[in-house]
Amino acid sequence: MELYKENQLKIYNSLNKSKENFKPITEGYVGMYVCGPTVYSNAHLGNVRTFMFFDVVYRYLLHLGYKVRYVRNITDAGHLENDADEGEDRIAKKARLEEIEPMEVVQRYTVDFHNVLKNYNFLPPSIEPTATGHIVEQIEMIKEIIEKGFAYEVNGSVYFDVLAYNKSNHYGILSGRKVEDLIHNTRALDGQSDKKNPQDFALWKKAEERHIMRWPSPWSDGFPGWHLECSVMSTKYLGESFDIHGGGMDLKFPHHECEIAQSQTCSGVKPVNYWMHTNMLLLNSQKMAKSTGNFILPNEILSGKNNILPKAFSASVVRFFNMQANYRSILDFSGEALEASEKGHAKLMEAITFLDKIEADKASTFDVKKWKKACYDAMNDDFNTPILISHLFEAVKVINQIKEHKAGLTNADLEEFKTTINAFVFDILGLMNEATQDSSEKINGVVELLIKLRKEARENKDWALSDQIRDELIELGIQLKDGKEGTTFSVN
């Protein structure tokens, strides 16, 4: 039986501002969409915190036995410098400043983004669509919104009419904002804008003459609004209604609010059942942001080449640090906090490494089933990783007691204990045991050295030594294979 049938997952739904029992639209299947990066610069650690949390969500849903379609987009066009639909496209601006093609900018930072996620042990999403790959679909959605009477065209640009939509729907349903307040708090139009009202947002922008990122449309040569791509791609790959939509808290308004308005206009139904938002990551108690220069890049942490941290830290330690706080809480990143996480991570991995050496006892002194249930209860409670980690350290305490012969587990309990702790630490949290990795690298180095010595022995016609090296490696479970390009090995 799939684990999801015996585990009732609760999710904090930003739409209703409460924890709700998770019930997917189709039993056994989950559709999840997460807003991906705008690839005009390197993703900083604050950005990565959001993707890291949803990597854990994805991992846990898979662990429970759900078939998950996880869609995370790449914004490679249409994201203007501010939310008032003014300024340049961020990618086009970067291209102009660096005197390169916009798609060179896109390629450079998409590759960097993927490298970061690989270094930090992320699972790839099921689908990773791009805005530029869905221009046709975005134009078709704009046509439909215009036909429904909720958009208008002015001088080649198309805008969503928020006031018209709000007459029969609720613009602000996610963020809790009221259109009346938005009008009151927005400066009057200066006559240079094409919008009817300040709160209206762009569906299509006419490209200026120098704007290189442009596509033909019924209204002008231009480019889509930033909010539109997510409505189009989530609908295309997950349907008009799907289960989970995630992103950073900063996207709740206006981005996600606009998504709801666009999607609901076209389908007439609620597009998402569960909205999830991660909170911000601080750096030394200040908001992490590129605009202020108060940020650190994920790969700078691994290399130690930065002016913020006292030394380099591993990707697994950074993951562990992130999971020690609830995703809806503000998390303060600092050298001191990372060093504390490194110590805790080392204790956890040391205990897990020793676990393989433990032999079964006649009786159990620890209730494994109760502990296992507590681990699942933590994750079922809106993915509460800090509570899960506290239960993992309860397991560390038990392992250390067994090491000192002060506790024991029967064979059945020991196997369940091992399976459970490995599942939560490696499969769900996505942590890595660097000690094991280091050992593997050292073993590989030793085998390569023996292959080199065997090669020299064969060149010197010392067949006895050559055969001895080969045979003794076979006894250790290491098989050598001689080929035209040299000798390789495999571990049996």
pLDDT for the residue 191: 47
pLDDT for the residue 209: 87
pLDDT for the residue 483: 73
pLDDT for the residue 485: 61
Omega of the bond prior to 254 within 30 degrees of 0, cis? yes
pLDDT for the residue 83: 60
The C-alpha angle with vertex 49 and arms to 127 and 203, in degrees rounded to 5, equals 55
| Per-residue confidence in pLDDT tens, the chain, 492 aa | 899 999 999 999 999 999 999 999 999 999 999 999 999 999 999 999 999 999 999 999 999 999 999 999 999 987 876 665 777 788 988 998 899 999 999 999 999 999 999 999 999 999 999 999 999 999 999 999 999 999 999 999 999 999 999 999 999 999 999 887 776 555 444 445 789 999 999 999 999 888 889 999 999 999 999 999 999 999 999 999 999 999 999 999 999 999 999 999 999 999 999 999 999 999 988 888 877 888 999 999 999 999 999 999 999 999 999 999 999 999 999 999 999 999 999 999 999 999 999 999 999 999 999 999 999 999 999 999 999 999 999 999 999 999 999 999 999 999 999 999 999 999 999 999 976 554 455 566 777 778 888 888 788 888 888 788 888 888 777 878 787 667 877 665
pLDDT for the residue 7: 98
